[in-house]
Amino acid sequence: MPVEAIEQLVSGFEDNPIATRRSLVEAWDTDESRFFQSAIRLLNQPEDTPGRRFLADFLLHHRQLAERLSDTELLTRDEAVNLARFARRVDPSLEMRLAMKVTEVEKQDGSVGRILEILSEISQPSSLLPLLAAILHHSDPRVRSKAALMMGKGNRNGFWVKQQLSDPDARVRANAVESLWGTDSKVARQVYSSAMQDEHPRVAVNGALGLYLSGSPLSVEGMVELAGREDAGFRNSVSWGMGRTQDPRFLPVLERLERDPDPRVRSNAQRAMEQIRLYRQLLETKSPLVVSLLDATMADGGERQLRVSVALKGQEEPPALPATSFVIEENGAFLCRYEVQPNPKAAGGSAGLALPCASDLNAETAQSIEQAWSDACGLKFAGASWAVSCYSNTRAQGESLTPAYTGSPAALLAAREAAVHSARAGFLTALRELLTAAPKGARALIVVGSPQPETSAVVDNRSANLESFLKEAQSAGAPIHAIATADCPPMLGLALREASSATAGSFRQAEDAESLGRDLRSVLLASHPAYILRYQAPPEAAGGRVRLLVHCPYGAGECSAELSQDSR
pLDDT per residue as tens digits for the range 111-153? 777 777 777 777 766 666 656 666 666 667 777 777 777 777 7
Which residues span the domain enclosing 323? 289-341+538-565
Express as a percent the part of the chain with pLDDT over 90: 23
pLDDT for res 332: 82
CA of 335: how far to CAs of 193, 328, 332, in Å? 20, 6, 10
Q: What is the mean pLDDT of residues 23-45?
A: 73
Q: Judge whether residue 381 has pLDDT over 70.
A: no
What's the CA gap between 450 and 445, in Å, rounded?
16
pLDDT for res 4: 65
Confidence class of residue 169 from pLDDT cuts 50, 70 and 90?
confident
Confidence class of residue 507 from pLDDT cuts 50, 70 and 90?
very high
- In a domain, residue 205? The reply is no
Taking the model in full, what pTM does it have? 0.62
- In a domain, residue 187? The reply is no
- In a domain, residue 21? The reply is no
Query: For the segment 445-493, what is each residue's pLDDT rounded down to a tens digit?
Result: 889 988 888 888 888 888 888 899 999 888 888 889 999 988 889 999 9
- In a domain, residue 513? The reply is yes
Residues 450 and 509 in one domain: yes
pLDDT for res 90: 76
Looking at residue 180, its amino acid is L
Confidence class of residue 380 from pLDDT cuts 50, 70 and 90?
low
**Which residue in 509, 316, 338 sits closest to 417, CA to CA?**
316
Give the lowest-confidence range in 17-31, 130-144, 188-202. Answer: 130-144
Residues 477 and 559 in one domain: no
* Higher pLDDT among residues 443 and 28, named by residue: 28
Helices 3-11 and 50-61, packing angle to 10 deg: 120
Hey, which of 13-17, 20-24, 172-176, 394-398 has the most confident mean pLDDT? 172-176
CA 173 to chain centre: 27
Phi, psi at 332, each rounded to 5°: 85, 0
Confidence class of residue 365 from pLDDT cuts 50, 70 and 90?
confident
Contact 528, 346 (CB under 8 A): yes
**Which residue in 56, 67, 117 sits closest to 92, CA to CA?**
56
Residues 303 and 397 in one domain: no
Q: What is the mean pLDDT of residues 432-442?
A: 68
**Which residue in 175, 192, 341, 324 sits closest to 245, CA to CA?**
324
Query: For the segment 237-281, what is each residue's pLDDT rounded down to a tens digit?
Result: 999 999 999 999 999 999 999 999 999 999 999 999 999 999 988
Query: For the segment 65-121, what is each residue's pLDDT rounded down to a tens digit?
Result: 666 777 777 777 777 888 787 777 777 777 777 777 766 655 555 577 777 777 777
Q: pLDDT averaged over the chain? A: 79
The dihedral formed by the CA atoms of 106, 107, 111 and 115, expressed in degrees to the nearest 10: 50
Q: Judge whether residue 230 has pLDDT over 90.
A: yes
Q: Judge whether residue 405 has pLDDT over 60.
A: no
pLDDT for res 226: 96
pLDDT for res 109: 56
Q: Is 354 helix (H, G, I), strand (E, B) or coil?
A: strand
Q: What is the mean pLDDT of residues 19-30?
A: 77
- In a domain, residue 83? The reply is no
CA of 104: how far to CAs of 29, 96, 128, 312, 326, in Å? 28, 13, 16, 55, 50
- In a domain, residue 8? The reply is no
Q: Is 411 helix (H, G, I), strand (E, B) or coil?
A: helix
Query: For the segment 300-354, what is each residue's pLDDT rounded down to a tens digit?
Result: 788 899 988 787 765 556 667 889 999 998 888 888 889 998 765 544 456 788 8
pLDDT for res 414: 43
Query: For the segment 517-555, what is each residue's pLDDT rounded down to a tens digit?
Result: 888 877 876 666 678 899 988 776 667 889 999 988 888
Express as a percent the part of the chain with pLDDT over 70: 78
Residues 393 and 454 in one domain: yes
Hey, which of 23-27, 273-277, 433-437 has the most confident mean pLDDT? 273-277
Q: Based on the structure, what is the number of domains in the chain?
A: 2
Confidence class of residue 403 from pLDDT cuts 50, 70 and 90?
very low
* Higher pLDDT among residues 185 and 348, named by residue: 185
Taking 3-state DSSP, the helix, strand and coil percentages for the chain, each rounded to the nearest 5, stand at 55, 15, 30
- In a domain, residue 472? The reply is yes
Residues 435 and 508 in one domain: yes
Contact 10, 40 (CB under 8 A): no
Q: Judge whether residue 375 has pLDDT over 50.
A: yes
Residues 423 and 295 in one domain: no
Q: What is the CATH number of the domain that holds 431?
A: 3.40.50.410
Residues 496 and 403 in one domain: yes
Q: Degrees (nearest 5) of the Cα angle 529, 534, 539?
A: 155
359 DSSP assignment: G
Confidence class of residue 294 from pLDDT cuts 50, 70 and 90?
confident
pLDDT for res 499: 92
**Which residue in 400, 461, 406 sits closest to 429, CA to CA?**
461
Residues 314 and 418 in one domain: no
pLDDT for res 126: 63
Residues 394 and 478 in one domain: yes
Residues 506 and 550 in one domain: no
Q: What is the mean pLDDT of residues 33-54?
A: 73
- In a domain, residue 470? The reply is yes
Confidence class of residue 561 from pLDDT cuts 50, 70 and 90?
confident
Please enumerate in sequence order all residues whose Cβ is within 8 A of that of 457, keeping only pairs 6 or more positions apart, or say none.
396, 397, 425
Residues 334 and 478 in one domain: no
Contact 219, 209 (CB under 8 A): yes
Report the largest interatomic distance among the alpha carbons of the chain, rounded to a whole angstrom.
112
Residues 370 and 517 in one domain: yes
pLDDT for res 406: 40
DSSP H helical segments within 109-166, as ranges? 111-122, 129-135, 141-155, 158-164
Please enumerate in sequence order all residues whose Cβ is within 8 A of that of 225, keeping only pairs 6 or more positions apart, or say none.
none
pLDDT for res 440: 57
Q: What is the CATH number of the domain that holds 546?
A: 2.60.40
